């Protein structure tokens, strides 16, 4: 035992030595996560909004143009980020809170667990929204589980103080700090008194409370840039204007967090990652596996990779790559383990660190969704390869479900009212088309950026369709997807072939 410990200590010592014998600086990670954030920043060419802190971070980052979430829903996305496993493999099939009650499997080895075992200190500030606790343990935690989510997720003065507390109590271990903002999530469903996006929370007006570090930026509906998938109506524009104010608060919060990092002397040793969990909470956004629902901002700033700072990368990245990237940064081997039986779980993501050195040829991203709310069962699997996106809607005969949060939004209520009254919706599809989808949807996102023309039935695209379908199926088998045979067959693992046809006329 003592000899083994001695070897371990020696390995640690050698690991800390760089070629040339100089001791390596400790490496740390700061992960900044937006809640339902999109491309509302100067860094992503939105000139209507002011995001000076994100723009400054972009100048010190590689900015990814083709980054995708693996699932367009909150808890499943966070679980995928923290495990490197898609939702159908880690068990977080839908939202974690209240009646939804989804959890990851007990046997999952999450990033915080792996880091803890490798003597990295872990901290989370803000929205956690995953469980069970034993699978996602953090040494330092201020989340909705022990605090008000508004305070730890939207009050940037409180967030600043907690980051300072974490950094001041830092010991000799490297750290992983995960700051999960609750901005710019909607709050009309949970805290309507603060506005559709909690854009009034802490603005100093009567009954709103006051966030000392926040200087609210107000936007007029005519100022905003309306994404192509959102109806261009006064209601949607007012909704977006509120969202912009909330994004401004998060942007100022990011500035405060990075300032704390600098004051504590960690800016030269810390990998900073900024991204969002899923698409924006608008039609065709969050809960959809269209590009509009899965494309995410992603900036990675490494103090050791300065030559690509401020550059844009076209390489495909997915949020399933974050766990491998962070393990790689800490030189921790990827886990190989089994959750059920003897079948080994392997990470299918990749480390993104090579993209910080030079442009990479990566051109494929996979997505998988089963639920959002527990009632919203609409399983989908998708692949984007180069410009082509293929979506498999397994239960395509059902109407696409709408979540509570989005249902009461001004944008959706206006869309419903206009549809019922037979008025123009100023949207690129009808509500009927949105609810009722084809089983297979294939889009050429370069020729058809609005994803309006389904090429799946077009014989000219048959070869592309079959290629993408085969790649998607292989990924489903590789990741142990229980839905791999659905909807026209049943998975029977002891038989050959394993997919047994149902003859159910699909």
Helix, strand or coil, per DSSP, at residue 316 = strand
> Left, alpha or beta for 304 (phi > 0: left; psi -120 to 50: alpha)?
alpha
Burial of 158 (0-12, 13-18, 19+ CB in 10 A): buried
**DSSP-assigned letter for residue 190:** T
Return d(Cα 249, Cα 497) in angstroms, integer.
54
Return d(Cα 336, Cα 357) in angstroms, integer.
27
Question: How do beta strands 270-276 and 295-301 pair?
Answer: antiparallel
**269's tokens:** 């040793």
Q: Which residues pair with 440 in a beta bridge?
A: 392
Return d(Cα 158, Cα 125) in angstroms, integer.
10
CA 86, 92, 96, 102: dihedral to nearest 10 degrees?
160
Strand segments (E) across 127-229 = 140-143, 175-180
Return d(Cα 336, Cα 63) in angstroms, integer.
30
Instruction: State the CB neighbour count (10 A cutoff) for residue 414.
Output: 20
Return d(Cα 136, Cα 185) in angstroms, integer.
22
496: CB partners within 8 A, 6+ apart: none
**388's tokens:** 């082509």
Residues belonging to the active site: 74
340: CB partners within 8 A, 6+ apart: 105, 107
CA 68 to chain centroid: 8
131 touches 103 (CB < 8 A): yes
**211's tokens:** 């966030």
Q: Which residues pair with 444 in a beta bridge?
A: 388
Instruction: State the CB neighbour count (10 A cutoff) for residue 428.
Output: 16
**182's tokens:** 């609750």
How many residues are listed for the chain in this entry? 506
């Amino acid at each position: 035992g003592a000899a083994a410990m001695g070897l371990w200590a020696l390995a640690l010592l050698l690991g800390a030595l760089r070629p040339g014998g100089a001791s390596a600086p400790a490496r740390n990670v700061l992960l900044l996560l937006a809640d339902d954030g999109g491309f509302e920043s100067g860094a992503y060419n939105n000139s209507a909004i002011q995001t000076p802190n994100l723009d400054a971070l972009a100048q010190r980052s590689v900015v990814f143009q083709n980054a995708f979430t693996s699932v367009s829903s909150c808890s499943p996305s966070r679980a995928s980020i923290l495990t490197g496993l898609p939702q159908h493999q880690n068990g977080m099939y839908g939202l974690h809170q209240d009646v939804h009650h989804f959890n990851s499997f007990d046997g999952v080895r999450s990033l915080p667990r792996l880091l803890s075992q490798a003597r990295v200190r872990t901290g989370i500030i803000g929205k956690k929204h995953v469980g069970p606790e034993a699978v996602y343990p953090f040494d330092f935690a201020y989340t909705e589980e022990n605090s008000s989510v508004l305070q730890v997720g939207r009050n940037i003065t409180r967030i600043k103080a907690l980051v300072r507390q974490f950094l001041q109590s830092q010991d000799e271990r490297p750290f992983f700090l995960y700051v999960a903002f609750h901005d710019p999530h909607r709050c009309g469903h949970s805290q309507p008194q603060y506005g559709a996006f909690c854009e009034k929370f802490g603005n100093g007006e009567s009954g709103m409370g006051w966030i000392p570090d926040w200087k609210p930026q107000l936007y007029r509906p005519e100022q905003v840039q309306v994404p192509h998938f959102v109806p261009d109506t006064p209601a949607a524009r007012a909704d977006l204007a509120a969202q912009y104010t909330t994004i401004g608060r998060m942007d100022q919060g990011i500035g405060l967090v990075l300032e704390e990092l600098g004051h504590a002397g960690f800016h030269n040793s810390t990998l900073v990652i900024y991204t969002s969990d899923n698409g924006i909470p608008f039609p065709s956004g969050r809960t959809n596996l269209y590009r509009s629902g899965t494309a995410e901002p992603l900036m990675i700033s490494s103090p050791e990779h300065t030559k690509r700072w401020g550059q844009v990368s076209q390489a495909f990245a997915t949020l399933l790559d974050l766990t491998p990237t962070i393990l790689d940064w800490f030189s921790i081997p990827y886990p190989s383990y089994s959750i059920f039986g003897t079948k080994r779980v392997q990470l299918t993501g990749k480390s993104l660190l090579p993209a910080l050195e030079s442009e990479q040829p990566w051109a494929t991203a996979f997505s998988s969704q089963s639920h959002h709310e527990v009632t919203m069962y609409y399983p989908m699997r998708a692949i984007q390869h180069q410009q082509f996106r293929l979506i498999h809607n397994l239960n395509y005969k059902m109407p696409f479900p709408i979540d509570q949060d989005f249902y009461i939004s001004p944008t959706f209520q206006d869309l419903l009212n206009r549809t019922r009254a037979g008025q123009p919706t100023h949207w690129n599809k009808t509500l009927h088309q949105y609810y009722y989808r084809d089983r297979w949807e294939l889009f050429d996102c370069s020729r058809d950026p609005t994803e309006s023309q389904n090429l799946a039935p077009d014989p000219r695209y048959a070869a592309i369709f079959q290629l993408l379908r085969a790649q998607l199926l292989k990924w489903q088998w590789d990741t142990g997807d229980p839905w791999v045979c659905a909807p026209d067959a049943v998975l029977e693992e002891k038989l050959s072939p394993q997919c047994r046809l149902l003859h159910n006329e699909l």
